[in-house]
Amino acid sequence: MPTTTASPNDKVVMVTGASAGIGQATAECLAHSGWTVVGASRRGTSGPGWTGLVMDVDDDQSVTDGVAEVCADHGRLDALVACAGWGLAGPVEYTPLADARAQLETNFFGAVRTVQAALAPLRQAPSGRIVLMSSIGGVLGIPFQAFYSASKFALEGYGEALAYEVAPLGIHVTLVEPGNVRTDFTAGRRTVSGPDDDNPYASSAQRAISTMERDETDGVDPDHVARAVERVLDARRPPRRCSVGKFDERIGLLGRRLLPYRLFESAAKGSLGV
């Protein structure tokens, strides 16, 4: 990455998972709005107006070196947007623990690593910002995506606890909760099917995963999420949580928080394909 010097008025943001999907859309949106953007990914993808950085959020040293490089090149870090992640689907009973751990390693601990490396420079910013890309699956459990939901539920608790700790230091934390988004996340999802014979989950898993893929294909454009991130970063008092998606999905999140659980679960089953 070429060395540049940021002026005192330039705001520098690191976006992880910037090679595709929501991360890439966010990098492009923020660059267009005048941010100095470094998009971190294993491929080091760059784009118009923003710089790529090779960084693997699963690797401690890679993250430490990546954040240090951004600070060395730009002299500051004002915001972190943690978007890196992938999906895992299939019955809990047949999901290898290695796959389950890998899901948490990227989606949860990848964000944790990056936040820990970024906190020291963010404390030096006039108003440091952290945006954690959660999901509707971090508010309600999605059948046959148990470990994906677990990673996002963990991120929700982590982000809320982190916010209490860093608020006195002038750092704001926001959890962005997208619903279905139209990206290549769908095609890249890893699926565990289980045995071909005597599999009690086969039909329900196929139905639920097909419903999920259809809804994602019909979901909002990733630019919708990117613009929500931009609003969060520009807000004087950012919200703790920000939902993004179609109206019925956002109402569903509200229902999850307000309705008696049995009533909500009964209403949700059809939309989840079970």
pLDDT reading at 1 higher than 50: no
User: Within its chain, how far is the Cα of 115 from the centroid?
Assistant: 13
Dump pLDDT digits (tens) for 69-107.
Answer: 999 999 999 999 999 999 999 999 999 999 999 999 999
Q: Which of 11, 46, 148, 243 is catalytic?
A: 148
Q: Are 27 and 49 in contact (CB under 8 A)?
A: no
Dump pLDDT digits (tens) for 192-249.
Answer: 998 988 999 999 999 999 999 999 999 999 999 999 999 999 999 999 999 998 877 7
Q: Which of 41, 46, 62, 134 is catalytic?
A: 134
Residue 5's pLDDT band, with cuts at 50, 70 and 90, is very low
pLDDT reading at 8 higher than 80: no
Return the SS3 of 191. strand
> Using alpha carbons only, how large is the chain's radius of gyration in Å?
19
CA–CA dist 22, 15 (Å, integer): 10
Q: Is there a catalytic annotation at residue 19?
A: yes
Taking alpha carbons only, the member of 172, 82, 94 closest to residue 127 is 172
Taking alpha carbons only, the member of 16, 5, 27 closest to residue 229 is 27
Q: Are 5 and 12 in contact (CB under 8 A)?
A: no
Handedness of CA 238, 240, 245, 248 (dihedral sign): negative
Q: Is there a catalytic annotation at residue 11?
A: no
- Averaged pLDDT, 52-56: 98
Q: Is there a catalytic annotation at residue 269?
A: no
Tokens of 167: 């608020």
- Comparison of pLDDT for 9 and 125, the residue scoring more: 125
Fill in the amino acid letter for 139. Answer: V
Q: Which of 11, 151, 152, 158 is catalytic?
A: 152
CA–CA dist 110, 222 (Å, integer): 21
- pLDDT averaged over every residue in the chain: 92
Q: Are 192 and 149 in contact (CB under 8 A)?
A: no
CA–CA dist 202, 191 (Å, integer): 12
Q: Which CATH class is domain 12-272?
A: alpha beta
Q: Which of 19, 41, 46, 62 is catalytic?
A: 19
**pTM (predicted TM-score):** 0.91
pLDDT reading at 2 higher than 60: no
Contacts of 214 (CB under 8 A, 6+ apart): none
Residue 9's pLDDT band, with cuts at 50, 70 and 90, is very low
Q: Are 111 and 59 in contact (CB under 8 A)?
A: no
- What's the pLDDT score for residue 257? 74
Q: Where are the alpha helices (DSSP H) in 124-184?
A: 146-166
Fill in the amino acid letter for 133. Answer: M
Q: Are 119 and 77 in contact (CB under 8 A)?
A: no
- Averaged pLDDT, 177-197: 94
- What's the pLDDT score for residue 265? 79
Q: Is there a catalytic annotation at residue 148?
A: yes
- SS3 letters across 158-196: HHHHHHHHHHHHCEEEEEEEECCECCCHHHHCEECCCCC
